[in-house]
Structure 1
Amino acid sequence: MKDMIKRIFLVAFILLVLTAISGFFYMQKHPIENNKPAGTALMMTGKAVK
């Protein structure tokens, strides 16, 4: 029972670390730009929509 709980926590921790690393690299490629108006949203294609 303890071994299963340790394995679950280990897998959850690894997934959390991988998510943080992939998010870091995503933000390096797509930084947050503060010069866009607050009323616009981005489509999946990257075009701004009002």
Structure 2
Amino acid sequence: MRDMVKRIVLVIFVLLVLTAVSGYFYMQKHPLDEKASVNKTMNITGSKVSK
């Protein structure tokens, strides 16, 4: 029983590491476009802010 719990924890840890590494490389290839997030920002009146 204890060995099975250790194996499950190890598998979850490995999956988390793989997800983090693949996400890191994805963000290196596809950085967040700051202009798109600025254009989606709304000001107080509700109209889109254009920069």
* Pairwise TM-score range, normalised by the shorter structure: 0.7 to 0.9
Unaligned residue ranges in structure 2 (runs of 5+): 42-51
Aligned residues: 39
Q: Provide TM-score, normalisation by structure 1.
A: 0.73
Give the aligned partner of residue 13 of structure 1. 13
What's the % identity of the aligned pairs?
62
2:37 paired with 1:38: no
- Distance in 1 separating the partners of 2:40 and 2:30: 18
For 2:2, the aligned partner's letter is K
Letter in 2 for 1:33: D
Which has the larger share of strand? 1
Which has the higher Rg, Structure 1 or Structure 2? 2
1:15 Cα deviation after fit: 0.2
Hey, what does 2:3 align to over in structure 1?
A: 3
Compute the displacement of 1:24 (Å): 0.1
Structure 1: runs of 5+ lacking an equivalent? 40-50
More helix by percentage: 2
